[in-house]
Amino acid sequence: MDLFTILALSFILLLTIYILLSWSKQHGNQSLPPGPTPIPVLGTPKYMDLRASTKNFPKLSQKYGSVFTIWQMSEPVIVLCGYETVKEALVNHAEQFSERPKIPVMNLSNKGYGLDGRRWRPIRRFTMTSLRNFGMGKMTMEKRVLTESKYLIQAVSETGGKPFNPRMFLAMAVGNIISSVLFGEHFDYQDKQLEELLSSTSRHVKSLFAPLSTLCNIVPVLLRFSVIRQKVVKEKLYLQNFVMKYIKHHKETLKPESPRDFIDYYLLKIKEVEHEMDPDFCETSLLVMVIGLLIAGTDTTASTLKFSLVLMAHYPDVQAKVQQEIDKTTNSLRPPEIMDKPQLPYTNAVIHEIQRVLDLAPTTLFHAVTEDIKFRGYTIPKGTTVIPFLSSVLFDPSQWETPEVFNPGHFLDEEGQFRTRLAFMPFSAGKRVCLGENLARMELFLLFSALLQRFTFTLPPGTERQNSKYLNLNKTEIIASGQICAVPRSLSK
């Protein structure tokens, strides 16, 4: 028997063993939630669609219930649907569902220091404390946002009422706000460095959810090929180089008695624990956190604001009612402030409803369970990936009177006052709720209301307006390239 035959037979034997082990794992655990029958080794590829991994979830939920299993090759993935189920997992069992699964593409450069690694608790705790100390959610942060709104209004004014895509202006505004927190830096709107940073951030977010990245997360061995690995991390390399320049400059100019921004706070923490054998805080974890906050603090908020303005152009009656409320509250003499929220219930309701129907993050980042857990009659093994399907919460017919309709009344009580809704989870819930939720809420309220106070947003001539409250707009296309016109309003009494 020659060497080639021996190798071929060995390969066939190993493949057979792997298939049998895979089949045994897939069919041997009868305590998992039900789901489509997996194929040995391949799992359920039909339901792990690389282009739109969540598009099959509603139908699967109808067939198998609010908790079901799909398979990523030989590994089970649990999907949670509906408000009650997601709440029970992320809130009632917050600790057990607080882990993150290993995501190969994200781990390429995190080296275990990301919020999906074993060090996430101390890093997240310190980050939240530092951001609060630096004014996150306080009046000092409100002043930053209000100041930035003036630059944004000026940039929009210069369009002269002609059709334009507001995406970059909005990204520059929120990018400057988070940059002031992270780097102590404010960029001019004409600064090419800011434009390239924001473009790279957006491209990096897209690359994380691109088919190639999804495939690499399912089949991590592909990342061993340098060509594929370089393509996957291309955009992140620019962000790493950009942030490292600031970290280097901050190290050289650090004054312990007067920290300037988040990087300074983090560098002081690194000095504090540098004597430890394997510290959680180091330059690598700082780099990872700054990039993460930069991404979270720009792309999602800018996308939401862009969608908000285009939606107002499609619903001029809603826009006019918001403007009337803002004018009455501020007397047209000053921009709306956080203290005005109680007097702006309709405006607040519109912003919340926009976030609900936009449904920007259908699944949020995946979770994993920290231990074997009994959940809704099933046993979920430790380490199993869990997908909270947030779309099913934001459109849950048991929680929303008209889930498929753009209806600000969802957030208003019978007296027209704002009411919170527990099923409003665009930022997720539980221990892994979005770190930047408070800042994002502040930015959305202040920037949206400031823009509507100063401009009326209309569709370009010849553009067909949405004529029904049942949304049939292409949200992805709107965020990417939708154009509007900003017509200045007269603020005189």
Q: How far apart are CA 76 and CA 120, in angstroms?
A: 24
Rounded Cα–Cα distance for residues 142 and 153 (Å): 16
Which residues, in sequence order, are bridge partners of residue 458? 485
Q: What are the structure tokens assigned to 42, written together? A: 């391949």
Half-sphere exposure at residue 11, Cβ-oriented, CA atoms within 13 angstroms:
6
For 432, counting Cβ atoms within 10 Å of its Cβ (0-12 exposed, 13-18 middle, 19+ buried), the class is buried
Question: What is the model's pLDDT at position 22?
Answer: 45
Q: pLDDT tens digit string along 333-351?
A: 899 999 999 999 999 999 9
Length of the chain: 493
Q: What is the pTM of this model?
A: 0.89
Residue 477 above 50 pLDDT? yes
- Rounded distance between C-alpha atoms, residue 454 and residue 332, angstroms: 9
Buried b (16+ CB within 10 A) or exposed e, 379-390: ebeeebbbbbbb
Question: What pLDDT sits at residue 307?
Answer: 94
What pLDDT digit, counting tens, does each position of 21-49 carry? 444 454 555 689 999 988 887 888 877 66
pLDDT reading at 14 higher than 90: no
- DSSP state, 343? G
pLDDT at position 20 is 46
Q: Where are the alpha helices (DSSP H) in 209-298?
A: 211-218, 226-253, 262-273, 283-296
Which amino acid appears at position 445 of this protein? F
Position 112 scores a pLDDT of 64
Q: Count other Cβ atoms within 10 Å, centred on residue 64.
A: 17
286: left (phi over 0), alpha (psi -120 to 50) or beta: alpha
Q: Give which of 57, 28, 29, 62 is closest to 44, Cα–Cα.
A: 57
Smallest CA-to-CA distance from 418 within 319, 349, 354 is with 349
Per-residue pLDDT tens for 371-420? 999 999 999 999 999 999 999 999 999 999 999 999 999 999 999 999 99
Distance CA 275, CA 374 (A): 42
Q: State which amino acid sits at residue 36.
A: P
Mean pLDDT across the stretch 365-376? 92
**What pLDDT sits at residue 199?**
87
Q: Which two tokens stand for residue 375?
A: 């959940």
d(CA 100, CA 110): 14
Over the stretch 269-302, which tens digit does the pLDDT of each residue have?
999 888 887 788 888 889 988 988 888 888 889 9
Please tell me the predicted confidence (pLDDT) of residue 138.
64
Residue with tokens 């390399």: 237
DSSP state for residue 88 in the 8-state scheme? I
| pLDDT exceeds cutoff 60 at 205 | yes
Given a cut of 80, whether residue 471 has pLDDT beyond it is no
User: How does DSSP assign 294-342, residue by residue?
Assistant: HHHTTHHHHHHHHHHHHHHHH-HHHHHHHHHHHHHHHTTSS---GGGGG
Pull the structure tokens for residue 197. Answer: 């940073």
Q: Which segment of 45-59, 143-157, 246-260, 368-382 scores lowest on mean pLDDT?
A: 45-59
Q: Cα 284–252–288 angle (5° rounding)?
A: 15
**Helix-then-strand count for the chain, H and E:** 18, 8
* The pLDDT of residue 246: 92
Q: What is residue 4's three-state secondary structure?
A: helix
**CA atoms within 13 Å, Cβ hemisphere of 484:** 28
Predicted confidence at residue 137, as pLDDT, reads 57
Structure tokens at 268: 């002081």
Name the pLDDT band for 266 (thresholds 50, 70, 90): very high
Other CB atoms within 10 Å distance of the CB of residue 264: 21
List the chain domain ranges.
3-81, 120-488
Mean predicted confidence (pLDDT) in 60-86: 94
Question: Which DSSP helix (H) or strand (E) runs through 375?
Answer: strand 373-375
Q: Which of 95-104, 174-183, 207-216, 482-491 has the lowest mean pLDDT?
A: 207-216
- Which residues sit opposite 386 in a β-bridge? 78, 367
Task: Assess contact for 243 and 262: CB atoms under 8 A.
Answer: no
Domain 120-488 falls under CATH 1.10.630.10? yes
Query: 5 falls in which pLDDT band (50, 70, 90)?
Result: low
Task: Measure the CA–CA gap between 181 and 259, rounded to whole angstroms.
Answer: 11
**Helices (H), ranges, 385-436:** 391-394
In this prediction, residue 454 carries a pLDDT of 96
Q: CA–CA separation, 413 vs 406, rounded Å?
A: 16
Residue 216: which H helix or E strand, with range?
A: helix 211-218
- Per-residue pLDDT of 431-443, as tens digits, reads 888 888 888 999 9
- Predicted local confidence at residue 74, as pLDDT: 84
